[in-house]
Each structure stands twice: as C-alpha cells, then as structure tokens.
Amino acid sequence: MNRRDFSLASAAFGLTAAAPSVLAQSAPFTAGTHYAVLRKPAPVDAPAGKVEVAEFFSYNCPHCATFEPALEAWSRKMPANAVLRRVPVPSVGQDIQTKQKLYYTLEALGKVDELHMKVFQAIHVERQRLFGDEAVLDWAAKQPGLDAKKFAETFKSFGVASKVQRATQLTEAYTIPGTPAMGVAGRWYVDGGMARTMQGMLQVSEYLIGQAAKG
C-alpha cells in the first residue's frame, strides 16, 4: 500500500490482466509531477545496454496483488532494451523479512512465474495466514511440483539472506514511501499517486525507459 492519499481501487486502475502494450514515448510527463528524480543514483543490476525497471512490492499489499496481472502482461511487451526486477520491500504489514525470503526463494528455484501470483492469492483471496517461517514452509510443501526440502534449504540460505539485504538497501536508495512503485535506471521513481493511476505508472515507466536509452 502507498502512504500517499490516493484511491487505488481496481476500477480506477484502468488495468486488465491482458493490458495492451504501452506506447508512451511522446507522452507529456514531467519531473516532479509525474515522476521523481533521485538526488543520488541508486545501484542497478542489469546487463550492459539494458535499462533496469524495478518494481517495489510487498506480498502483504493488496494493491500489489491487484497490480500484478497487469504488470506481468506489460513485462511481456516492454521495450526490448529493458529488464524487470522485482524487489520485495522491507515494509508494509507484518512479517516482512519472511515475505522477502519467500520471494527470493521462489526466484532462486525458478518458480516465480509459477507461484508468485499464487502467493498473492493465498494471502488476499484465500486469507491464509502466512506469518512466520514455519507457515511459509508449510505452504510451500503443499505446492505441486515444489521440492519442500530444497525450498527449505534455499529459504534459510546465505544467498537468500544476502538478496534480502540488497533489496532493503535498494528500497532505501530509492526512498520508497509505499507500494506498488517503480524505479527506472536507478535514476527515477514513480508510483500510482504521481502517475494518477496504475496504468499511468506503467506509461510513465515506459517513457522513462526511452529517456534512459537516450543517455
């Protein structure tokens, strides 16, 4: 959830699960109004020649759950020079670090595409109380095709702990006030309040990808 006072009701998002490709290169977006310019560049982890787009989210955030299908559809059609990086934030709700470890475990096991949305569904639709490491490990053990032992080992690993630490540092570097939010190229930040809608947030992000490509 975003701490700014704006409505994120899904009817106002202008989003669908099959959101069309956004063409916003000539949109009249301005710094300080539709997006913020970071005072100090944030670190990026993208291949040479690629623009990193970071989505800051929390599994505890209902707005992130609503936004996810549209983000996923957009990511499949985003500019070829851009890469999406999901970043679970160290805030929003309870049991934060456990949720961060959950995401990075799914990422390490190559299960994000398969199970990322299922986590949102378990929490916000099925109302499962995924609080604490044991609850998450129990949930994982019930997922078809997921090796419970390997999940537990990865969940408790140094590699996952390191990614959680880096996610916290990146969230701080972007000074993220709430979720969902987007960071582009380590230089710009946009959320639904600045862009007015979640669809607008994707449009601004695509515009900024174009700006980053210009240097």
pLDDT digits (tens, 9 = 90+) for 6-25: 233 333 344 443 343 444 44
CA 141, CA 191: separation in Å to the nearest integer?
Answer: 35
CA 188, CA 35: separation in Å to the nearest integer?
Answer: 7
Class of domain 10-213 (CATH, top level): alpha beta
Inter-residue contact 122 to 130 (CB < 8 Å): yes
pLDDT single digits (tens) 172-214: 999 998 999 999 999 999 999 999 998 999 999 999 999 998 8
Inter-residue contact 70 to 18 (CB < 8 Å): no
CA atoms within 13 A on the CB side of 156: 9
Q: H helices within 58-155, ranges in order?
A: 62-75, 96-108, 112-124, 133-141, 148-155
Angle, CA of 66, 78 and 119, to the nearest 5°:
30
Mean pLDDT of the chain: 88
Residue 29's closest CA among 192, 168, 204, 187?
A: 204
Q: List, edge to edge, every strand of the sheet that includes 181-184.
A: 36-37, 188-191, 181-184, 51-57, 82-88
Ramachandran angles phi, psi of 181, nearest 5°? -150, 160
Inter-residue contact 193 to 1 (CB < 8 Å): no
pLDDT single digits (tens) 10-67: 333 444 433 434 444 456 799 999 999 999 999 999 888 899 999 999 999 999 999 9
